[in-house]
Copies of this chain bind each other. A is one copy, B any other.
Amino acid sequence: MEIRNDQLSGRVMLPVLGQPVVERSDATRNRHALLAVAQTIVASGGVAALSMDGLAAQAGVGVGTVYRRFKDRAGLAYALLDHGERSFQQEFLFGSPPLGPGAPPIARIRAFLHAYIDRLDTQAELHLFAECHAPKARFHSGAYQTHRAHLALLLTQARPNIHANYLADALLAVVGAGLFLHQRRELRLSTTQMKAGLDQLLNCLDAATDPNVVNVGFENTSR
Residues of chain A at the chain B interface (Cβ within 8 Å):
128, 131-133, 135-136, 138-140, 162-163, 165-167, 169-170, 173-174, 176, 178-179, 181-183, 186-190, 192-197, 199-201, 203-205, 207-213, 215-218, 221-223
Q: Please determine whether B182 and A170 come into contact, CB atoms closer than 8 angstroms.
A: no
Given contacts A132-B135, A167-B197, 5 further A-B contacts (CB under 8 A): A132-B132, A140-B186, A193-B222, A203-B208, A203-B211
A-B pairs with beta carbons under 8 Å apart, 11 shown: A128-B135, A131-B178, A135-B178, A135-B181, A136-B182, A139-B179, A169-B179, A190-B223, A192-B217, A203-B211, A207-B211
Q: Please determine whether B182 and A174 come into contact, CB atoms closer than 8 angstroms.
A: no
Residues on B with beta carbons closer than 8 Å to the beta carbon of A183: 169
Residue in B closest to A201 when the chains form the complex, CB atoms: B170
**What is the CA–CA distance of A215 and B196 in the complex, to the nearest angstrom?**
7
6 nearest CB pairs, A to B: A166-B197, A190-B222, A207-B208, A196-B216, A204-B208, A132-B132
**What is the CA–CA distance of A200 and B169 in the complex, to the nearest angstrom?**
13
Q: Which secondary structure dominates chain A's binding surface?
A: helix
Residues on B with beta carbons closer than 8 Å to the beta carbon of A204: 204-205, 208, 211
Residue in B closest to A165 when the chains form the complex, CB atoms: B187
Q: Please determine whether A212 and B222 come into contact, CB atoms closer than 8 angstroms.
A: no
Picked from B139, B170, B212, B213, the residue with its CB within 8 Å of the CB of A174 is B170
